[in-house]
Amino acid sequence: MLGLRSVAVRRALSRSYASAAAPHALVFLEHTRGVIEPSSLSALSAAQKLGGQVTGLVVGAPGDVEKAVGQAKKLPGLTSVWHASSSQYANIVPEVVSPLLGKLLSDAHPSFTHVVSAHSASARSILPRVAAQLDAPAISDITSLEHNAEANSTTFERPIYAGNAVATVRAPASVPLKFFTVRPTAFTAAAPDEGYEAAVQAVDPVEVTDSPAQHVQYNLTKSDRPDLATASRVVSGGRALKNAETFAATMYPLADVLGAAVGASRAAVDAGYADNSLQVGQTGKVVAPELYMAVGISGAIQHLAGMKDSKLIVAINKDPDAPIFQVADAGLVADLYQAVPELIEKLKK
Amino acid sequence: MRPSPIRLLNILVPVKRAVDYAVKIRVNPQQTGIDTNVKHSMNPFDEIAVEEAVRLRERLKEKVTGITAVTIGPAKASETLRTALALGADQAIHVETQADAPAPEPLGIAKALQKVVERINGGSGQKEPVDLVILGKQAIDDDAGQTGQMLAGLLNWAQATYASKIEVDTEAREATVVREIDGGTEELRCRLPLIVTTDLRLNEPRYASLQNIMKAKKKPMQKLSPADLGVDLAPRIETVKVSEPPKRMGGQKVADVDELVARLREAGITGVA
* Residue A217: inside a domain: no
Question: Would you say residue B173 has pLDDT above 70?
Answer: yes
What residues in B contact A327, CB-CB < 8 Å?
Answer: 248, 250-251
Question: Would you say residue A12 has pLDDT above 90?
Answer: no
Smallest CA–CA separation between B71 and chain A, in Å?
19
A198 and A239 belong to one structural domain: no
Cβ distance B143 to A140 less than 8 Å, yes or no, reads: yes
Q: Please count the structural domains in chain A.
A: 2
Question: Would you say residue A311 has pLDDT above 50?
Answer: yes
Q: How confident is the model at residue A2 (pLDDT cuts 50, 70, 90)?
A: very low
* Residue B200: inside a domain: yes
A196 and A237 belong to one structural domain: no
Cβ distance A348 to B138 less than 8 Å, yes or no, reads: no
Q: Give A242-277 pLDDT, tens digit per residue.
A: 999 999 999 999 999 999 999 999 999 999 999 999
Q: Give B44-61 pLDDT, tens digit per residue.
A: 999 999 999 999 999 999
Task: Identify the residue among A40, A98, A119, A161 best suited for mutation to test binding to B, counting B beta carbons within 10 A and taking the highest.
Answer: A161
Q: Please count the structural domains in chain B.
A: 1
Smallest CA–CA separation between A70 and chain B, in Å?
24
* Residue A222: inside a domain: no
* Residue A216: inside a domain: no
Q: How confident is the model at residue A229 (pLDDT cuts 50, 70, 90)?
A: confident
A173 and A302 belong to one structural domain: no
Question: Would you say residue B1 has pLDDT above 60?
Answer: no
* Residue B259: inside a domain: no
* Residue A19: inside a domain: no
Q: How confident is the model at residue B105 (pLDDT cuts 50, 70, 90)?
A: very high
Q: Is A11 annotated as a binding residue?
A: no
Q: Is A296 annotated as a binding residue?
A: yes
Q: Label each residue of chain B as H, E or C.
A: CCCCCCCCEEEEEECCEEECCCCCCCECCCCCCECCCCCEEECHHHHHHHHHHHHHHHHHHHHEEEEEEEEEECCCHHHHHHHHHHHCCCEEEEEECCCCCCCCCHHHHHHHHHHHHHHHHHCCCCCCCCCEEEEECCCCCCCCCCHHHHHHHHHCCEEEEEEEEEEEECCCCEEEEEEEECCEEEEEEEECCEEEEECHHHCCCCCCCHHHHHHHCCCCEEEECHHHHCCCCCCCCEEEEEECCCCCCCCCEECCHHHHHHHHHHCCCCCCC
Q: Is A52 annotated as a binding residue?
A: no
Mean pLDDT (chain B, rounded): 94
* Residue A174: inside a domain: yes
* Residue A188: inside a domain: yes
Give the domain CATH number at A195. 3.40.50.620
Q: Specify the pLDDT at position A161.
A: 96
Question: Would you say residue A314 has pLDDT above 80?
Answer: yes
Give the domain CATH number at B168. 3.40.50.620
A196 and A319 belong to one structural domain: no
Chain B residue whose CA is closest to A257:
B273
What is the domain extent for residue A164? 24-202
* Residue B242: inside a domain: no
Residues A290, A220: Cα–Cα separation, whole Å = 26
Q: Specify the pLDDT at position A141.
A: 97
Q: Is A301 annotated as a binding residue?
A: yes
A197 and A322 belong to one structural domain: no
Q: Specify the pLDDT at position A4.
A: 44
Facing residue for A98 by CB, picked from B153, B189, B249: B153
Domain boundary among A158, A179, A202: A202
Q: Give the percent of chain A with pLDDT over 90.
A: 89
What residues in B contact A217, CB-CB < 8 Å?
Answer: 186-187
Task: Identify the residue among B143, B231, B247 best suited for mutation to test binding to A, counting A beta carbons within 10 A and taking the highest.
Answer: B143
Cβ distance B21 to A229 less than 8 Å, yes or no, reads: no
Smallest CA–CA separation between A135 and chain B, in Å?
8
* Residue B261: inside a domain: no
Question: Would you say residue A14 has pLDDT above 50?
Answer: no
Cα–Cα nearest to A216, from B169, B195, B189: B189
A141 and A288 belong to one structural domain: no
Q: Is A302 annotated as a binding residue?
A: yes
Q: Specify the pLDDT at position A24.
A: 97
Q: Is A313 annotated as a binding residue?
A: no
* Residue A2: inside a domain: no
What is the domain extent for residue B110? 9-237
* Residue A62: inside a domain: yes
* Residue B72: inside a domain: yes
Give the domain CATH number at A331. 3.40.50.1220
A55 and A81 Cβ atoms separated by less than 8 Å: yes
pTM of the shown model: 0.92
Task: Identify the residue among B47, B243, B269, B272 best suited for mutation to test binding to A, counting A beta carbons within 10 A and taking the highest.
Answer: B269
Q: Give A77-107 pLDDT, tens digit per residue.
A: 999 999 999 999 999 999 999 999 999 999 9
